Amino acid sequence: MSPITSHSRFTPSRRALLLGGAGFGALTLAGCGGFVNDDGGGSGEESGSGSGGGTVTAYLSTEQNTGIEPLVEPFTADTGIELDIASVAVPDMNQQLPVQLSSGTAADLFRVSPGYSSNVAAGVLGSSGDLLDLSDAAWTGDIDDGTRALSDVDGKTYAFPVARNSLVLAYNLAVFAELGLEPPTTWPELLEVSQALTDSGRTAISHGLSGGAIYLQFYVYIFAGTLLYGPNPDLDAQMRAGETSFSDEPGWTEVFTKYLELRDKGFFTEGALGVPPDQAMQDLATGAAGMTVLTNSGLPALFEYSESGAEAFSIVAMPSSDDAGATLLPTAPDFLAVNAAAKNPDGARALLDFLAGPGNVETYANTLAVLPGLDVGAVVDNPSLEPVLPLVDEGRTVPYANYLWPNGDVQQTMLQSGQQLYADEITIPDLLAQMDAEYAKGTP
Amino acid sequence: MTSAVTTATPPRPTQPAPSGSRRSLTPAGVPYALLLPAFVLYALVVLYPTLSGALYAFTDWSGRADGTTFIGLENFAEILSDVAARSALRNSLIIAVTVTAVQTLVGLGLALVLHSSLVTRNVLRTLFFAPAMLPPVIIAFLWTFILTPQGPLNTVLRAVGLDFLAQNWLGESSLALWTVIGVVIWQNAGLTMVIYLAGLQGIPAELNESSELDGATWWQRTRLITVPLLIPATTVAMSLTLISSLKLFDQVFAMTGGGPGYSTETLSVIMYKEAFVSGRFGYSAAIALVLTMIVFAFAMVQLGALRRFEVDR
């Protein structure tokens, strides 16, 4: 066999090569198309576009994934519908969801923020037609009024409150016992307790603002809840109508003044702007600090820092005024919503109906140490939440202040410029003016 | 003459005609056909997204498919008037200039010291280069822990009586940017060192030996032989450092998130925030385009300037 003959056997013709190249290109394109389309959970037939059977794709926060985990098998057993769940941290989800919605790859069911607090909030996505109208679901009758304001747009319900978080003041029981301290119920008591902790050589309130200063906002929502929204529940409507603003409403100045008072008295962690939030929690766990502010969904993480676990800590609603009876507990619904372009909308709605069952509301809440999302008489069986449950039962709750701000940039400005305020680089009027400027841009 | 030679050359015997299958290989289209799959992949993964990104810089795209409109140069006008963007540009330039200058000097110094008969030179080279092998985010998290107010660095400083040097490294606006710069240099100086070591090893030994015989001192040999012959290595080291530091993101985002306040925000950081926090993808694309042009301009100017100093060996 000559070399030429051998060569010719393995060399494709020009036409074959061109066809092969074109074919590869087509395959590549097809592969990309398939990748994009399949991410949504398979074909309509595979995912069972009708009720009963098929697959529901869900894109949840890591906390939601933990809460829903014990309910997955019962749901599938009950309905025959499989759940295909992906979960990420909330900030990552908030960044990815707009792109997924834009490219048609979003899951059937996903987490949305309350109100208008981010570009993937129920109000924003509900207004833009990205969410399925859930108004006819039976569970909408179990949503409380405060939550409804954050899930509805023009009288239509677009989000399901799977749970509620609250902002609490956690304290180290051993440290309080050692110093003979009682948890504070009023602002003067908070200052007294903080002073006693400081005098003992400890940090009174551990506070970490490094990274994104997300813990700064908790103080704002706590103080604003009791001092502003308690006396004036219509404040958001007034601000939207342009009747008042951050700068014009004296209460906002009082909110930031109280925050800075804690700093000026030396109650916060030294050099808080350079302290990561997790270190602040560790300080509380080790007894280097006496108190800290966090969401109750952050309690399990705090408990892990202590060998005694949950028994090392207790919580209380953080006081903001001289009147203990006026203290309100800032609470935040954690929402799920159904994609308007869901491949299995009936399956997604079936999951929400399932989660709305009283027993399942209870299971979810107790798994995560959070408050029930719906008023269905669920019993909270979590000792760590007991101190704040009376406030919940009495209806002394208030939404986080930022939820009805028209866009997420108001909060972002508060966090970044708030660091400058903490460092005394700007004044409270400067900060409020910047927040007003972002507020004036309205909802995108 | 040439003509004569050519004329004298006997004609080459006629080659037998190639077989039919051999002929099918020769057409000019075949190489292009072979390139096609790679080009299609490259076009899909690189060209299309890049060009799309450039086009989006002239729109108000919010990351959503609907409602995107062409707004001309509005995004670029906003960059010019945006205080945060100007501050980020200033920070990016400070980082680029400082990191490029200091890292080059440190890398050169390390290379000169370790290009010697030192017994531990190989161990030291490995130690200095090791940080460059680690992911920047891991380095950033480690240093964030080390640099907290009550962290290991301040604890050591206080323990040895240097309390006055203990600082809130990442919590002071005036200090945080320089701290990040220090960490970046610490991580990447080893990479510059390796580039210079390669350059040093390429310098002919006889040049140094003959000049030494002629009575040249170490400093004279370094200044007049080593440094000029290291200009090509300097070009590579400085270009790579300048480009990477102009688009610095990982360490800044992981260590400070751009804070305290806005004090460490770079163009890359605000590009990210505008797109993924504020949902202003069009504006973010405009920042990316500006950053690309800045990187390109700086790289070209630097390359041109350094090439002028390069000498033939």
**Contact check, Cβ <8 Å, B149/A274:** yes
Three-state SS string over A236-295 comes to HHHHHCCCCCCCCCHHHHHHHHHHHHHHHCCCECCCHHHCCHHHHHHHHHHCCEEEEEEE
Mean pLDDT, residues A314-333 taken together = 94
Torsion of CA A239, B278, B263, B138, to 10 degrees: 140
Per-residue pLDDT, B87: 93
Judged by a CB distance cut-off of 8 A, whether residue A20 touches chain B is: yes
Judged by a CB distance cut-off of 8 A, whether residue A33 touches chain B is: no
Asked whether residue A221 falls in the same domain as residue A308, the answer is: yes
Q: How far apart are CA B129 and CA B111, in angstroms?
A: 11
Residues of A in contact with B22 (CB under 8 A): 4, 7-8
Contact, A256 vs B153, CB < 8 A? no
Encode pLDDT of A260-281 as tens digits. 999 999 999 999 999 998 899 9
Judged by a CB distance cut-off of 8 A, whether residue B179 touches chain A is: no
pLDDT band at A224 (very low <50, low <70, confident <90, very high): very high
Minimal CA–CA distance to B136: which of B72, B183, B206?
B183
Residue of A nearest to B176 (CA): A274
Asked whether residue A289 falls in the same domain as residue A349, the answer is: no
Encode pLDDT of A154-203 as tens digits. 999 999 999 998 999 999 999 999 999 999 999 999 999 999 999 999 99
Asked whether residue A280 falls in the same domain as residue A413, the answer is: yes
Judged by a CB distance cut-off of 8 A, whether residue B204 touches chain A is: no
| A154: containing domain | 44-164+333-381
pLDDT at residue B26 above 70?
Answer: no
Identify which of A49-53, A365-369, A398-402 has the greatest average pLDDT. A398-402
Residue of A nearest to B272 (CA): A95
* Helical H segments across A332-439, by residue range: 345-355, 358-368, 389-393, 408-422, 428-439
For the complex shown, is ipTM > 0.95? no
Select the residue of A21, A95, A419 nearest B260 (Cβ to Cβ). Answer: A419
Residue A34 lies in a domain: no
User: In chain B, what are the domains?
Assistant: 87-309 (1.10.3720.10)
Q: How far is CA A139 from the centre of its chain?
A: 21
**Contact check, Cβ <8 Å, A7/B24:** no
Asked whether residue A83 falls in the same domain as residue A114, the answer is: yes
Per-residue pLDDT, B24: 56
Q: How far does the CA of residue A11 sit from the closest CA of chain B (Å)? A: 8
Residues of B in contact with A209 (CB under 8 A): 171, 259-260
Mutation choice for B interface testing from A210, A411, A415 by most B CBs within 10 A: A210
Count the domains in chain A. 2
Residue A9 lies in a domain: no
Asked whether residue A189 falls in the same domain as residue A140, the answer is: no
pLDDT at residue B9 above 50?
Answer: no
Q: How far apart are CA A59 and CA A348, in angstroms?
A: 12
Asked whether residue A242 falls in the same domain as residue A369, the answer is: no
**Contact check, Cβ <8 Å, A276/B25:** no
Mean pLDDT, residues B98-110 taken together = 96
pLDDT band at A3 (very low <50, low <70, confident <90, very high): very low
Q: How far apart are CA B95 and CA B247, in angstroms?
A: 10
Asked whether residue A119 falls in the same domain as residue A100, the answer is: yes
Select the residue of B29, B40, B144 nearest A276 (Cβ to Cβ). Answer: B144
Judged by a CB distance cut-off of 8 A, whether residue B44 touches chain A is: yes
Contact, B255 vs B180, CB < 8 A? yes
Per-residue pLDDT, A320: 96
The DSSP output letter for A58 is E
Q: How far does the CA of residue B135 sit from the closest CA of chain A (Å)? A: 19
Query: Mean pLDDT, chain A, as a whole number?
Result: 86
Encode pLDDT of B30-54 as tens digits. 888 889 999 999 999 999 988 988 9
pLDDT band at B65 (very low <50, low <70, confident <90, very high): low
Residue of A nearest to B255 (CA): A211
Residue A139 lies in a domain: yes
Interface of A with B in 102-131 (CB under 8 A): 102-103, 119, 128
Q: How far does the CA of residue B248 sit from the closest CA of chain A (Å)? A: 17
Which residues, including other chains, have CB under 8 Å from residue A36's CB and lie 6 or more apart? A103, A104, A105
Higher pLDDT, B249 or A382: B249
Per-residue pLDDT, B12: 53
What percentage of chain B reaches a pLDDT higher than 70? 89
Where in chain B does DSSP place strands (E)?
none
Q: How far apart are CA A185 and CA A325, in angstroms?
A: 9
Residue A141 lies in a domain: yes
pLDDT at residue A359 above 90?
Answer: yes
Q: How far does the CA of residue A42 sit from the closest CA of chain B (Å)? A: 22
Asked whether residue A260 falls in the same domain as residue A337, the answer is: no
Mean pLDDT, residues A139-143 taken together = 93
Select the residue of A7, A102, A425 nearest B63 (Cβ to Cβ). Answer: A102
Residues in chain B: 313
Per-residue pLDDT, A158: 97
Asked whether residue A155 falls in the same domain as residue A243, the answer is: no
Q: How far does the CA of residue B113 sit from the closest CA of chain A (Å)? A: 36
Residue A12 lies in a domain: no
Asked whether residue A284 falls in the same domain as residue A422, the answer is: yes
**Contact check, Cβ <8 Å, A272/B171:** yes
Residues of B in contact with A409 (CB under 8 A): 278
pLDDT at residue A36 above 90?
Answer: no
Asked whether residue A228 falls in the same domain as residue A113, the answer is: no
Residues of B in contact with A5 (CB under 8 A): 19
Asked whether residue A247 falls in the same domain as residue A263, the answer is: yes
Residue A18 lies in a domain: no
Residue A280 lies in a domain: yes
Minimal CA–CA distance to A186: which of A325, A392, A294?
A325
Residue A98 lies in a domain: yes
**CATH number of the domain to which A237 belongs:** 3.40.190.10
Residue of B nearest to A101 (CA): B64
Question: Is residue A28 helix, strand or coil?
Answer: helix
CA distances from A135 to A152, A153, A348 (A): 9, 10, 14
